Chain A
Amino acid sequence: MVVKIRLARFGRTNAPFYNIVVAHARTARNSRPLEVLGTYDPIPKRDTYDRSGKLHKDIKLDITRAKYWIGVGAQPTDTVRRLLSLVGIMEPKYRPAAPAPAAAAKEPVKK
């Protein structure tokens, strides 16, 4: 069975919060996964004393385990792939106009 890296939605109504999980593809979304790799809080936040108005998103991730699961063939969903590409674990699926700094450090993608 295909092993996927995907998000499991927790949180409340209008307050989503996701676990980044490794699970078999055909199991229910919030069922007990093989492993919880981290969390993803999609609600943008602002630093308490920051007046610039810049927003940030908090993510917790075990990078080593994520690399391992990618290495053994786990398939990330598009959303998870986007997050993993931010830390340079994978190439982004959809190239943004300017490559992310972590991805840019690696060798460019062959066309």
Chain B
Amino acid sequence: MPPRIHSSSCCQSRQLLNYLEAAPPISISASPLALQRLAATSTSSSSQLQCSRSFSTTPVTEARQPTRQRREFLKWINDYKEKFRTQPNNGKTNYISQLVTVSDYQDVYEDQPFPNNPNFRSEPVLSSKARHMIWKDVMREGLPLKAVSAKYQVDMRRVAAVVRMKQIEHYMYKKKMPLARTYHDVIMSMLPRAYLTPGEKPFEPINDIHVHSYTMQQLFVPTAESREFTRADAAKAFGEHILPPDEKMRIPELVEMERNIASGMEPEKAYAIFKETAAQSERAFAEAQKAKAKHQADKTLRVDNGRFEFRFEKVNADDVGRNGRSRTAVGWRYGQPFTDRRRGEVKIPTKVE
């Protein structure tokens, strides 16, 4: 509960009322300091002098003086307001870090929107032109995603995401749904952008591989001097299920293309082979997905009773394992504690379907 003004101390409350009356445009929630300053500026001081005790003991002339920091801030903002009011140049940003070059901790880079937060770096985003180029290559030219990814040095997942978003945009445009164009333009004008032009630096690494924690340990594996010890052997030494880096590549066809070129093949021919094999691998992936969906559909029997659709999935009740407690057995398991009661079990969903 806030401190209350007792009705007995009438002079204080009257004074407060006087202040409030003197400040019609300011709401009741104005800070006491503002009220005080208002009181200081108002000329009708005769009513205030009726009271012997005032709220504040600070002399009125001192209180009206703005602080040094505020004065400096106002000066600074007057000097640079035009600079920040104008639109930044093409692809550039107007972050404050172009003025603040040294923060409390260390040097400030130009892509740091907050000078005191060195971890927040504003990376370039794909410009709308770049996104259109990617979409055109995939949907109009029919290039495989891997080839587009290699062409522009954009991650395959990002390429796929751009195409999906573009498709949605086209759909919304066709259906005459409202598009947030102004919002898009304003945000894009404030962010650093990548145009994917030939001379530009690569947008992002595209063939990074995941480093399994098993492979981070130091191992001593005795092997014969005469024996060839390859990356595949090294992977096997770390664990049976560890894949060699060549198999973990996102775009292994790119490595194959470079090998072909190194062995004397013409680059155009090697590129054609790359495109063909990339398309082939994507087709195989799509076929596998389709087959998986079909297998699932074949396993399910759908019966609609009007209110609900009952989906009967055919299972094998004999898949219960040696002691009847197999993890793959159908239904909740008997004689086993529930996994969701286990310590450290993460229940936060990790994906959205």
Contacts and interface: CB of A to CB of B under 8 A. Distances in A.
Nearest to A19: B331
B317 A62 contact: yes
Interface in B260-290: none
Contact of B317 (A37, A55, A56, A98): A37
A47 to B, nearest CB: 10
B308 interface: yes
B188 interface: no
A55 B304 CA distance: 10
Interface string B294-316: 00000001011111111111111
A95 B318 CA distance: 33
A10 B305 contact: no
Nearest to B317: A62
Most buried by A among B307, B311, B335, B353: B311
B312 to A, nearest CB: 5
Contacts of B96: none
B314 A63 contact: yes
Contact of B312 (A33, A48, A65, A87): A87
A17 B310 CA distance: 15
Nearest to A54: B309
B332 interface: yes
Contacts of A61: 312-315
Given A60-B330, A62-B330, A87-B301, A38 B309 contact: no
Contacts of B310: 56-57, 59, 83, 86
B305 A100 contact: yes
Nearest to A31: B334
Given A32-B334, A36-B331, A60-B330, A44 B313 contact: no
Range for the number of chain A residues in contact with chain B:
20 to 34
Given A39-B330, A56-B311, A58-B313, A102 B303 contact: yes
A101 interface: yes
A35 interface: yes
B317 A65 contact: yes
A100 B301 CA distance: 13
Given A38-B330, A39-B330, A62-B316, A44 B311 contact: no
B235 interface: no
B311 A38 contact: no
Contacts of A71: none
Contact of B329 (A36, A48, A100): A36
A61 B106 CA distance: 64
A60 B314 CA distance: 6
B305 A38 contact: no
B303 A86 contact: yes
Given A44-B308, A56-B309, A60-B315, A87 B332 contact: no
A73 interface: no
A70 to B, nearest CB: 14
Interface of B: 301, 303-318, 320, 329-332, 334-335, 353
Given A39-B332, A58-B313, 20 more contacts: A10-B331, A10-B332, A32-B335, A35-B317, A36-B317, A36-B320, A36-B329, A44-B308, A54-B309, A55-B307, A56-B308, A57-B311, A59-B312, A60-B315, A61-B313, A61-B315, A62-B317, A63-B314, A87-B312, A100-B305
17 contacts: A17-B332, A32-B335, A36-B331, A38-B315, A48-B353, A56-B310, A57-B309, A57-B310, A59-B311, A60-B331, A62-B314, A62-B315, A62-B318, A65-B317, A87-B301, A87-B312, A100-B303
Interface of A: 10, 17, 19-21, 32-33, 35-39, 44, 48, 54-63, 65, 83, 86-87, 96, 98, 100-102
